[in-house]
Amino acid sequence: MSFSSLGLSEQLVRATTDQGYETPSPIQLQAIPAVLSGKDVMAAAQTGTGKTAGFTLPLLQRLSENPREGKGPRALILTPTRELAAQVHDSVNLYSKYVPTKAAVVFGGVKINPQMMKLRKGLDVLVATPGRLMDLYQQNAVRFNEVEILVLDEADRMLDMGFIRDIRKILALLPAKRQNLLFSATFSNEIRTLAQGLLNNPVQVEVAARNTTAEKVKQSVYPVDQSQKSALLSKLVRDNDWDQVLVFTRTKHGANRLTKKLESDGITAAAIHGNKSQGARTRALAEFKQGDIRVLVATDIAARGLDIKQLPQVVNFELPNVPEDYVHRIGRTGRAGESGHALSLVSADEGKLLAGIEKLIKKQLPRQEVEGFEPQNNLPLKPKAKADPSRARNRSGGGGNGRNGAGRPGGQRQASPGPGGRSRGRGQGQGRSAQRQSA
């Protein structure tokens, strides 16, 4: 199957060929014909599978088939983050290389006046974050009366980031007659509720189970005490000669601290998070892509919208509070069919977070200890089951091995309890100790 067989014009097919794309991905195979038909579409696919092209290509074709004079925009694409907005705008420009299309992108963190000037010149496609778009509307810099196609990209993330009020305001300003497209890596129940009031008899496309991870991404867990995480990360970067690794932390301050630690260890690094100016974020990302820095430390603001070709390594320095964010984080590697490695440095107090991730993705992640960094408190292989009184009466010895051994998969080594596990003096197994500390 080729792009031309999906009904795309020769100009758009030529643009995909220029980018080295010959065969549509599964999401593109299903979504492009559905969008071309003019129907509303609700599509879910793993991150990195080409969903941006899945709506950008047919959107451009629909606009080119029915050219109109006006100020526009005729297509409005909403995204949750600045980085994703910039990425989608780049895709629009790449794919519209041979078709007459004017596109612009607007987001916060930069001066608003240059954006207002662009909008006054007229355009066909506008890519925007909701907050800045409402600012521009309130300053009479943009109108929505000509919008024919609305795209909500990563709509679940927009809800997570609190954009629902702005989104509802924007929806109320749009023409009632329009095509609506929802594209995302996952669809939460809240998003499905939003879709019920937004989409009209939509075509549903789901090429992978919800909240699954890419098959070509190797995932592993490195148990380590919290105090040793920075040293272990530096060792892994040096020993494995990693030239490009994306590292995720939970907080902005944590990202800054880790960046300074890596720099002090002689490893070039930069941080990217919400407190950084847009200029600083753009520079850090550009230097990372060019290989000028080895480690990019990011908060979850970068979990969506970072499209780095052949990124080999993603490290969770800290596990995310929301299990779904794990899927998006590691989706930065293994993109477009490439292989990748995602490893997580996990301390005992993150036991519940790890259990939530493993429940979500329906698999147990292999543990791998590093010599010299063995943790004082071990991670449970499985969440501790409720005690069965009848089994407790029949169990002899009652030691820690009996409690932990029942849930241990064959062939995996369970390290003996460290000093931190024994210090409680209650004879409990490591699983309960880890859970108690994470509570």
Q: Tens of pLDDT along 201-232?
A: 999 988 755 555 556 788 999 999 999 999 99
212 assigned to some structural domain: no
pTM recorded for the entire structure? 0.65
More confident residue, 253 or 389: 253
125 DSSP 8-state letter: E
Please indicate, yes or no, whether residues 198 and 340 belong to a single structural domain of this protein.
Answer: no
Enumerate the β-bridge partners of residue 75.
125, 149
The pLDDT value recorded for residue 333 is: 77
Lowest average pLDDT, out of 8-12, 220-224, 422-426, goes to 422-426
The pLDDT value recorded for residue 69 is: 82
Please indicate, yes or no, whether residues 200 and 231 belong to a single structural domain of this protein.
Answer: no
Please indicate, yes or no, whether residues 97 and 225 belong to a single structural domain of this protein.
Answer: no
356 assigned to some structural domain: yes
121-156 confidence digits (pLDDT tens): 999 999 999 999 999 999 999 999 999 999 999 877
Please indicate, yes or no, whether residues 264 and 373 belong to a single structural domain of this protein.
Answer: yes
Please indicate, yes or no, whether residues 387 and 432 belong to a single structural domain of this protein.
Answer: yes
| CATH number, domain with residue 233 | 3.40.50.300
Amino acid at 410: G
242 assigned to some structural domain: yes
401 assigned to some structural domain: no
Lowest average pLDDT, out of 4-13, 335-344, 379-388, goes to 379-388
What's the mean pLDDT in 300-307? 65
Please indicate, yes or no, whether residues 97 and 235 belong to a single structural domain of this protein.
Answer: no
75 assigned to some structural domain: yes
Give how many domains the chain has, as a whole number: 2
Please indicate, yes or no, whether residues 8 and 113 belong to a single structural domain of this protein.
Answer: yes
Please indicate, yes or no, whether residues 221 and 189 belong to a single structural domain of this protein.
Answer: no
- Judged against a pLDDT cut of 60, whether residue 391 lies above it is answered with no
Which residue among 180, 206, 232 closes a domain?
206
149 assigned to some structural domain: yes
402 assigned to some structural domain: no
- Judged against a pLDDT cut of 60, whether residue 393 lies above it is answered with no
165-208 confidence digits (pLDDT tens): 899 999 999 999 999 999 877 666 777 888 888 899 999 988 75
Please indicate, yes or no, whether residues 33 and 138 belong to a single structural domain of this protein.
Answer: yes
Please indicate, yes or no, whether residues 100 and 233 belong to a single structural domain of this protein.
Answer: no
Please indicate, yes or no, whether residues 181 and 269 belong to a single structural domain of this protein.
Answer: no
More confident residue, 148 or 305: 148
411: left (phi over 0), alpha (psi -120 to 50) or beta: left
Q: Which residues of 218-254 are buried (b: 16+ CB within 10 A; e: fewer)?
A: ebebbbbbeebbbebbbebbeeeebebbbbbbbebeb
Please indicate, yes or no, whether residues 198 and 258 belong to a single structural domain of this protein.
Answer: no
192 assigned to some structural domain: yes
Domain with 104, as residue range(s), is: 4-206
Which residue among 178, 206, 234 closes a domain?
206
Give pairs for 138-144: CB < 8 Å, separation 24+: 139/112, 141/115, 141/116, 142/73, 143/71, 144/73, 144/76, 144/170, 144/173, 144/174, 144/175
More confident residue, 34 or 419: 34
Which residue among 206, 232, 262 closes a domain?
206
